[in-house]
Structure 1
Amino acid sequence: MLWWANLAANAGMWVQNTGAGWSMTTLDPSPIMVSLVQASSMLPVFLLALPAGALADILDRRLFLIAAQLWMVAVSLLLCALAWGGMLGPWSLLALTFAVGAGTAMTFPGWAATTPELVPRSDLVQAIALNGIGFNLARSLGPAVGGFVIGWFDTAASFALNAICASLLLIALLFWRREASEANRTLPKEHFLSAMRAGVRFVAASPLLRATILRALAFFFFGAAVWGLLPLLVREQLGLGPESYGLMLTAMGSGAVGGGFALPWLRARADRSKIVLMGTMLSGASLALLGVSFHWFVAGIGMVGYGISWITVASTLQASAQFAAPGWVRARAIAIYQLSFFGALAAGSTLAGIAGHIVGLPVTLVSFGVLGAIASWLVRRAQIEAPLTAEAETIPTPARPDAPSADLIQALGEQSGRVLEVVRYTILPADRAAFLAAMAECRRVRLRGGAVTWRLYEDVALPERWIELWAVESWTDHLRETARLTPEDRAVLARAASLQIAGSTPELARYLNVLPEGGRG
């Protein structure tokens, strides 16, 4: 039910994008203004992605998505009314396109984070690919429908159709009965600002997510030239009308659907990193072909190739981001990934518009294709897939620390202030190098779990003694740490503990900050 409703909503979004892009070619046909339509729809995701991800993680995700969809319906109806009344100008079009994009920005992280709730982990990659196929089916149908609606009626009708399609997803969300998560049910919800900080710290400490974001920037920044310049390519370089504009987008969507069905075959023969590299090279070639196209057939081939590259790269990177983020922070991690994704699209689309105005469409498209291929080649070594590991779970992790004193129980909670956590190790000098390597991984585990600082100290008198220190914002955040550990994180901590001198275990302790920063005893 949700997949079909989302297919309809995505189709409506593409109908709206087609109407907005074509409206601007009438209201103000300069390359900069036309490209700003795309930028205004993507910029809200850049600005609102992290707040939206934090809200989707700490609020009831279903209710949050319902509220975002209500906003989308309301703004689409307003856009329709202004267009029908002849009161829509270029800047009001950009403002309302930005408002529609704000609804999209609030929806994307929460929607992406629901996929693991609806399918088992073993089906996650295929489910993400199916979502991508649905998105590109919508891209195939939406622009074509939008082009014909504009040709038969006007752009106001395309905005009205988007409101109807968004209402279908709203109805489906109302019927969805989401299962409540058991995780952290006994703990209070995270606060908005601290939730955003925790999301940023998690991504900063995750090599896989950082690599995924880097690869996304290289692909989407240069690939955005298609989105920013396609209306002008169709109208000026090819000399065609709105129906052909919709059909060009349909050609791209058709290529994406075909690429989506080919993904399992590709995945069986190459890892994610190679799939992304192949997709970006195809994207560069497709952009160059569009730049030299002066006939609809050649341009159509370029759009099909671009669609294949888009679904291949976007689905693979999205799967990498999903796998790298555990459930408690998934919406925030995906939001930060999408922030880079849409930020690159907005910046690339705007720059392509400026370049198109200065040097023309053919040179701009060819240049973006070549530069995109070069950038993706330069970042090809950034690994987006964790190596398979079968670390033994039998290695003991450090024992739990002593229970809190009864005298301090009342002081523990969300307002406790920072909590310092300490692990004392005794390591043989011969194991020093292995221990330092293990602790480098432990640092990332602690930071992903919510630590605001982390340090490792070696005893200057007895070098076999080590102290690992890290601090979290409150006692409640300390209690959340255990639930946030993934099996891979536990294996990392177990490797460090296994280096402890035989016959002993690392000692754990927790300390409460009793003076404010700068206070004096």
Structure 2
Amino acid sequence: MPFRLSTPRAFLPLRHATFRTLWLATLASNIGMWVQNTGAGWLMTSLDPAPLMVSLVQAASMLPVFLLALPAGALADIIDRRAFLLGAQAWILAMALLLAALTATGSLGAWGLLALTFAIGAGSAMNFPAWAATTNELVPRDDLVGAIALNGIGFNLARALGPALGGFAIAAAGPEAAFVLNAVAFLVLILALIFWRRPPDPKGRIPKEHLVSAMRAGLRFVSASPAMRAAILRACTFFLFSAAVWGLLPLFVRQRLGLGPEAFGLMLGVMGGAAVAAGFALPSLRGRLDRSGTVFWASLLISLAMGILALSTHWLPAALGMLLYGAAWIAAGSTLAASAQLAAPAWVRARAIAIYQLSFFGVMAAGSALAGWVGGRFGVPIALGAAAVCGAVATFAVRGWRIDSVAVAPPASTAPEPQPEAPAAELHALLGEHSGRVLEVVRYCIDPGEREEFLKAMQEVRRVRLRSGAVSWRLYEDVAHPERWVELWAVESWTEHLREEARRTDWDRAALARAAALHRAEGPPEAARFLNVEP
């Protein structure tokens, strides 16, 4: 029998040519970004070595995600995603070239470095949700989870290579060389996006959403999605305390270990290498632990890693700490990201991912700045030790919020969904984007003996309505006739009402059918729609 080498499972999504091209280009841009971050962090230790200022470099790169992620996600859902991604990369390229020029001429101060780091972070903030949502377009559903994991592997491979490359570039030609390398890397991604021929969006009869209403719809979806809320909470508690390493590592290497930029880059490279190795090991780990368990043990491991760093005065135990830190980071980070992406349907995916990223990047910025303040007052080792202890305590505190507790779809039901009558012809001219709010009503007749079961079913119906676009929802029981119930919810406009059906998933339809099946009268529950009219 001839011997054949099989493709490792982690690499299967790369068989899709477009995904492969964009993945490789994104890998190049991520390497450039880590080169840039390494250069900026090290340059600040020369411009202003105060712990707070050094930690603010990391905060400045993450804060834009907190400020811009939601509008970026909304735009990525409602305009051409390829053009949006091209614009974000062009902005990053321009800011990287400006940073390199100012550094080379000696015209850059500490606050100027923070401002340009913030500007580059703004481009990245626009890029993150759009790229994450694009993955679904590039691979079939069977390869989606693998593609998400491969994106994480690529990011951490860049983390392994970029800091080391940045450290050697700084040693050889100064921080400006790191900034030039970042610009070149983003030029590669721009070229890949130019050659990507994305199929045009299908033209539907419903107009595209506007930015503000799209942002509100994204927020409503996340607030009504238990799986998204759990992923966000677990991510916030994980990244808030683990961000201490990102904010303090340049000072830790320079002052605590007494080493130079090459060692700083290599420390980050050790962490990135461990993350890549852990990424390949995750598929076998998932067979033994569910997603919640993976995040729990990874959170404890990263706390242990920070504790080792806090006690280290030599590069060898520090490297061990960074090794554990990198493995825990990818295990928790990729698991949380996959949970968030799988919890969001296509129509709101970029917005949901943006809100998830907004949350954890925001707490990372806060955690990095907080660690810098503690480090300035009490010393870097104390700050790292405090982060380790607080991180471990927080891990146990949020353990009950399970990210793999997505409910199984309700049993299939033959009960038809309530269908309202068609609009009257004389009102057609009033129905559209500017119609004003639409009140939707469904009337149920429920056996009083099934009251508790009905209320339980309506809890999920409420979440379905809110996820699909409702701005408010109420359920009323007739005090004179306890078998009579009225469900009311409002949407922003007639156009928003038309979007409701397109937004529902199979799970949502099953939940609605489950509630309708409890109706005890002839025919389905009565449904109606009312247009808000100002007298």
Q: Which bracket does the TM-score occupy, shorter chain normalised? A: over 0.9
3-state SS in 1 of match to 2:464? helix
Q: CA–CA distance in 1 between the matches of 2:337 and 2:490?
A: 32
- Larger CA deviation: 200-209 vs 12-21: 200-209
> How far does residue 461 in structure 1 lie from its aligned partner after superposition?
1.2
Q: CA–CA distance in 1 between the matches of 2:23 and 2:153?
A: 11
Corresponding position: 1:353 with 2:372: yes
Corresponding position: 1:293 with 2:273: no
Q: CA–CA distance in 1 between the matches of 2:374 and 2:408?
A: 47
1:207 corresponds to which residue? Answer: 226
Q: CA–CA distance in 2 between the matches of 1:387 and 1:188?
A: 32
> How far does residue 36 in structure 1 lie from its aligned partner after superposition?
0.4
> How far does residue 120 in structure 1 lie from its aligned partner after superposition?
2.1
> How far does residue 170 in structure 1 lie from its aligned partner after superposition?
0.8
Q: CA–CA distance in 2 between the matches of 1:380 and 1:394?
A: 34
Q: CA–CA distance in 2 between the matches of 1:126 and 1:370?
A: 34
Aligned residue runs from structure 1 range 56-75, under 5 A: 56-75=76-95
In the TM superposition, what whole-angstrom CA distance separates every residue of 1:462-485 from its partner, at most 9, and x where no partner exists?
A: 110101000000000000000000
3-state SS in 2 of match to 1:408? helix
Q: Tell me the amino acid that sits aligned with residue 433 of structure 2.
A: E
In the TM superposition, what whole-angstrom CA distance separates every residue of 1:284-306 from its partner, at most 9, and x where no partner exists?
A: 00000011111111111110100
Q: Indicate if the aligned counterparts of 1:398 and 1:508 stay in contact, CA closer than 8 A.
A: no
Aligned residue runs from structure 1 range 325-474, under 5 A: 325-387=344-406, 389=408, 391-474=410-493
Q: CA–CA distance in 1 between the matches of 2:466 and 2:218?
A: 10
Stretches of structure 2 that go unaligned for 5 or more consecutive residues are 1-20
1:11 corresponds to which residue? Answer: 31
3-state SS in 2 of match to 1:399? coil
1:161 corresponds to which residue? Answer: 181
Aligned residues: CA RMSD: 1.1
Q: CA–CA distance in 2 between the matches of 1:431 and 1:256?
A: 52
Q: CA–CA distance in 2 between the matches of 1:212 and 1:379?
A: 11
1:134 corresponds to which residue? Answer: 154
Corresponding position: 1:28 with 2:48: yes
- Larger CA deviation: 172-181 vs 280-289: 172-181
**From 47, 70, 80, the counterpart of 1:50:** 70
**From 255, 273, 276, the counterpart of 1:254:** 273
> How far does residue 399 in structure 1 lie from its aligned partner after superposition?
3.5
Corresponding position: 1:83 with 2:103: yes
Q: CA–CA distance in 2 between the matches of 1:490 and 1:477?
A: 18
Q: CA–CA distance in 2 between the matches of 1:261 and 1:147?
A: 26
- Larger CA deviation: 383-392 vs 288-297: 383-392
Q: Tell me the amino acid that sits aligned with residue 48 of structure 1.
A: L
Q: CA–CA distance in 2 between the matches of 1:370 and 1:452?
A: 41
**From 479, 482, 502, the counterpart of 2:501:** 482
1:239 corresponds to which residue? Answer: 258
3-state SS in 2 of match to 1:397? coil
Q: CA–CA distance in 2 between the matches of 1:99 and 1:41?
A: 8
**From 161, 166, 170, the counterpart of 2:190:** 170
> How far does residue 121 in structure 1 lie from its aligned partner after superposition?
2.2
Q: Indicate if the aligned counterparts of 2:475 and 2:485 stay in contact, CA closer than 8 A.
A: yes
Q: Indicate if the aligned counterparts of 1:21 and 1:38 stay in contact, CA closer than 8 A.
A: yes
Scaled by the length of structure 2, what TM-score is found? 0.95
Q: Indicate if the aligned counterparts of 2:222 and 2:352 stay in contact, CA closer than 8 A.
A: yes
**From 452, 477, 499, the counterpart of 2:518:** 499
Q: 1:330 to 1:343 in 2, by over 3 A?
A: same
3-state SS in 2 of match to 1:190? coil
Stretches of structure 1 that go unaligned for 5 or more consecutive residues are 516-520
3-state SS in 1 of match to 2:35? helix
2:5 corresponds to which residue? Answer: none
> How far does residue 215 in structure 1 lie from its aligned partner after superposition?
0.3
Q: CA–CA distance in 2 between the matches of 1:28 and 1:256?
A: 31
Q: CA–CA distance in 1 between the matches of 2:234 and 2:418?
A: 40
Q: How many residues align?
A: 515
Sequence identity (%): 63
Q: Indicate if the aligned counterparts of 2:227 and 2:406 stay in contact, CA closer than 8 A.
A: no
Q: CA–CA distance in 1 between the matches of 2:407 and 2:396?
A: 25
Corresponding position: 1:179 with 2:185: no
1:322 corresponds to which residue? Answer: 341
Q: CA–CA distance in 2 between the matches of 1:134 and 1:50?
A: 24
> How far does residue 366 in structure 1 lie from its aligned partner after superposition?
1.2
Q: Indicate if the aligned counterparts of 1:49 and 1:336 stay in contact, CA closer than 8 A.
A: yes
> How far does residue 502 in structure 1 lie from its aligned partner after superposition?
5.4
> How far does residue 362 in structure 1 lie from its aligned partner after superposition?
1.1
Corresponding position: 1:117 with 2:137: yes
Q: CA–CA distance in 1 between the matches of 2:467 and 2:220?
A: 6
2:18 corresponds to which residue? Answer: none
Q: CA–CA distance in 2 between the matches of 1:445 and 1:392?
A: 16
Q: Tell me the amino acid that sits aligned with residue 77 of structure 2.
A: D
Q: CA–CA distance in 2 between the matches of 1:2 and 1:189?
A: 27
Q: Indicate if the aligned counterparts of 2:442 and 2:487 stay in contact, CA closer than 8 A.
A: yes
> How far does residue 116 in structure 1 lie from its aligned partner after superposition?
1.4
In the TM superposition, what whole-angstrom CA distance separates every residue of 1:157-191 from its partner, at most 9, and x where no partner exists?
A: 11011000011111111111122344x72211101
Q: Tell me the amino acid that sits aligned with residue 39 of structure 1.
A: A
Q: Indicate if the aligned counterparts of 1:285 and 1:369 stay in contact, CA closer than 8 A.
A: yes
Q: Indicate if the aligned counterparts of 2:56 and 2:247 stay in contact, CA closer than 8 A.
A: yes
Q: CA–CA distance in 1 between the matches of 2:418 and 2:241?
A: 51
